[in-house]
Amino acid sequence: MLSGKIDSYDQYHGFGYIKGDNGEKLFFHVSGLLNHNDVPKVGKMVNFVVAYGARGPQAAKITLNNHNSL
């Protein structure tokens, strides 16, 4: 499991980017959140895994880390 924070999020389209602790930015879609009641917000700390799809690597199985978020 990797960690990082939400760098950008487009609520209308349901996607954004997570900046991992290693500095790499990964695409994510709201459907990648394990808890569908979670609301992604810029600055929130997250845990995730990297999944590889047709468009390359992206964040998946995302959980919000409520202890270290804005």
**pLDDT at res. 53:** 83
In the chain, which residue ranges form alpha helices assigned H by DSSP?
Answer: none
* Domain layout of the chain by residue ranges: 2-68
In the predicted model, residues of the chain with pLDDT beneath 70 are 67-70
Q: Give the containing element (helix H, strand E) for 7.
A: strand 2-10
Question: CA-to-CA distance for 18 and 33, rounded, in angstroms?
Answer: 12
Residue 64 has a CB neighbour count (10 Å cut-off) of 19
**pLDDT at res. 69:** 46
CB 46 within 8 A of CB 17: no
The CATH number of 2-68 is 2.40.50.140
Percent helix, strand, coil in the chain, to 5, is 10, 55, 35
